[in-house]
Structure 1
Amino acid sequence: MPKIGMPDIRKPQLVKATMAVIERVGLHSASISLISKEAGVSTGIINHYFGGKHGLLEETMRAILRDLSGTVQAQLKHLPKDNHQSRINAIINANVEGFQAENKVAKTWLAFWSYSMHDVQLKRLQRVNEQRLLSHLKIELKALLPVEQANLVAHGIASLIDGIWLRGTLNPDGIDADKAREIINDYLDKQLTFYAQSSL
Structure 2
Amino acid sequence: MPKIGMEPLRRKALIDATISAIGERGSLDVTMSEIAGRAGVSSALAHHYFGAKDELLLATMRHILAELTADMRRALRSASTARERVSAVVAVNFSDVQFRPETIAAWLAFYVEAQKSAALRRLLKVYARRLHSNLLSGLTGILPRNEADRVAEATAALIDGLYIRRALKDGVPNAATAIALIEDYLETKLSRRSAQ
- The CA distance in 1 between the partners of 2:165 and 2:28, in whole Å, is 22
| Number of aligned positions between the proteins | 192
Give 1:55's aligned residue: 55
What are structure 1's unaligned runs of at least 5 residues?
A: none
> Taking structure 1 as the reference length, what is the TM-score of the superposition?
0.88
- The CA distance in 2 between the partners of 1:189 and 1:92, in whole Å, is 13
Deviation at 1:114, TM superposition (A): 0.6
Question: Counterpart of 2:126 in 1: which secondary structure?
Answer: helix
Question: Counterpart of 1:48 in 2: which secondary structure?
Answer: helix
- The CA distance in 2 between the partners of 1:172 and 1:192, in whole Å, is 28
Which one-letter code corresponds to 1:25 in the other structure? R
Give 2:94's aligned residue: 96
Deviation at 1:40, TM superposition (A): 1.6
Question: Counterpart of 2:8 in 1: which secondary structure?
Answer: coil
Give 2:183's aligned residue: 185
Deviation at 1:28, TM superposition (A): 4.2
Give 2:110's aligned residue: 112
Contact 2:162 2:172 in 1 (8 A): no
Which one-letter code corresponds to 2:151 in the other structure? V
> Taking structure 2 as the reference length, what is the TM-score of the superposition?
0.89
Deviation at 1:32, TM superposition (A): 0.9
Question: Counterpart of 1:7 in 2: which secondary structure?
Answer: helix
Give 1:36's aligned residue: 36
Contact 1:76 1:90 in 2 (8 A): yes
Question: Counterpart of 2:18 in 1: which secondary structure?
Answer: helix
User: CA RMSD, aligned part only?
Assistant: 2.0
Contact 2:23 2:101 in 1 (8 A): yes
- The CA distance in 2 between the partners of 1:18 and 1:89, in whole Å, is 30
Contact 2:68 2:98 in 1 (8 A): yes
Deviation at 1:173, TM superposition (A): 8.9
Residues 95 and 49 of structure 1: CA distance in aligned 2, closer, same or farther (over 3 Å):
same
* Mapping of residues 44-193 of structure 1, within 5 Å: 44-80=44-80, 83-171=81-169, 175-193=173-191
Which one-letter code corresponds to 1:9 in the other structure? L
Q: Deviations over 1:59-96 (max 9, x none)?
A: 0111111111111111111221xx22222111111111
- The CA distance in 1 between the partners of 2:172 and 2:188, in whole Å, is 27
1:16 aligns with 2:16: yes
Question: Counterpart of 2:130 in 1: which secondary structure?
Answer: helix
Q: Deviations over 1:94-141 (max 9, x none)?
A: 111211111211111111111011110000000000000000001110
Q: Deviations over 1:10-65 (max 9, x none)?
A: 12110011112222234343101111111121222222221211000100111111
Contact 2:165 2:171 in 1 (8 A): no
- The CA distance in 1 between the partners of 2:142 and 2:32, in whole Å, is 49
Identity, % of aligned positions = 33
Which one-letter code corresponds to 1:102 in the other structure? R
